[in-house]
Structure 1
Amino acid sequence: MKQNLIALAAGVLFGAGLAFSGMADPARVQGFLDLFGQWDPTLAFVMGGAIIPMALAWMLQRRMQSPLAVSKFSLPGTTQLDRPLAVGAVLFGMGWGIAGLCPGPALADLAIAPTAVLPFVVAMVAGMALHRMLPSQH
């Protein structure tokens, strides 16, 4: 129960940040990616602003024996850049550039513009399901 409340609070904070920064608007994201047109630097400032609290969180995590709500940290098992990671990053970037959405803003936009974002969310869920059905690369 405690970890669900923490997850809910984190999700609400993340969603509020998306809404406040305007990053739930696909046009804002596409404007950031349009380097040779009407470039919008807003997303660069949002990303830059996220670096400081994340750096502090990593410093704090290194000093903690365990997280607050579960028995151990769930960290990636490797830092290796391999083919599946690179291909996934390229596919994510292409989808992000085409739709102007990634998973967090897409779910937030279901409350704002469900008809416009629903095809993206359906495709995203289908991709997640397909990934679970395919044999593991590791």
Structure 2
Amino acid sequence: MRFILGLTSGLVFGLGLVISGMSNPAKVLNFLDVFGTWDPSLALVMGGASFTTFVGYRLIWRRDRPLLMPRFEIPTRADIDAPLLTGAAIFGIGWGIGGFCPGPAWTALPLAAPGTLAFLPAMVAGMLAGLWVALRLKDRSQNAA
């Protein structure tokens, strides 16, 4: 049951990305181009998502526990450190250059647009490189201790 709900949630999310235009890099880049061909329509998408999330969380927090889990799993870290800022900067630069976030990039894959077919392997390679660097840094810090 949990798998089916997860799959359904993912499909609804992906469908929402396609319908909203978030899987169209030209639309995203036009949204980011405030001083050029600015397209403010994605602000409505983000506003709608923020509103839905706000209402959804207010409803969910009334429950004692999630529907299919024994308890809510809330992140405990609240610090802002160099890895977080570095990752956010790399993500933002990649989004601005490519016009894709990872989720919308995957939803655009069936369209087989050349930009998507170039972006996705580069994104996966970047994720693997980041994992490799993180593991190397972890090994180095453990060996130094």
Deviation at 1:44, TM superposition (A): 0.7
- Residue 88 of structure 2 corresponds to 89
Equivalents in 1 of 2:23, 2:63: separation in Å? Answer: 33
Helix, strand or coil at the partner of 2:50: helix
Instruction: State percent identity of aligned pairs.
Output: 44
- Quick check: 1:3–1:70 contact (8 Å CA) kept in 2? no
Structure with higher Rg: it is 2
| TM-score normalised according to structure 2 size | 0.84
Deviation at 1:114, TM superposition (A): 5.0
Equivalent position amino acid for 1:76 in 2:
P
Question: Pairwise CA RMSD of aligned residues?
Answer: 1.8
Runs of 4+ in structure 1 off by over 4 angstroms are none
Instruction: Rate the CA distance shift 1:44–1:64 in 2: closer, same or farther, 3 A.
Output: same
2:63 is the alignment partner of 1:48: no
| TM-score normalised according to structure 1 size | 0.88
Alignment of 1:57-136 (within 5 A): 57-133=56-132, 134-135=134-135
Helix, strand or coil at the partner of 1:87: helix
Structure 2: gaps (5+ residues): none
Spell out, residue by residue over 1:94-122, the C-alpha distance to the aligned partner (whole angstroms, 9 max, x if none): 10110000111100111112543122211
Spell out, residue by residue over 1:65-104, the C-alpha distance to the aligned partner (whole angstroms, 9 max, x if none): 2211222323322222222111111111110110000111
Spell out, residue by residue over 1:11-56, the C-alpha distance to the aligned partner (whole angstroms, 9 max, x if none): 1111111111111100000000001101000111100111111001
Worse-superposed segment, 34-43 or 14-23: 14-23
Equivalent position amino acid for 1:83 in 2:
A
Aligned length: 136
Equivalent position amino acid for 2:2 in 1:
Q
Worse-superposed segment, 88-97 or 53-62: 53-62
Equivalents in 1 of 2:70, 2:126: separation in Å? Answer: 31
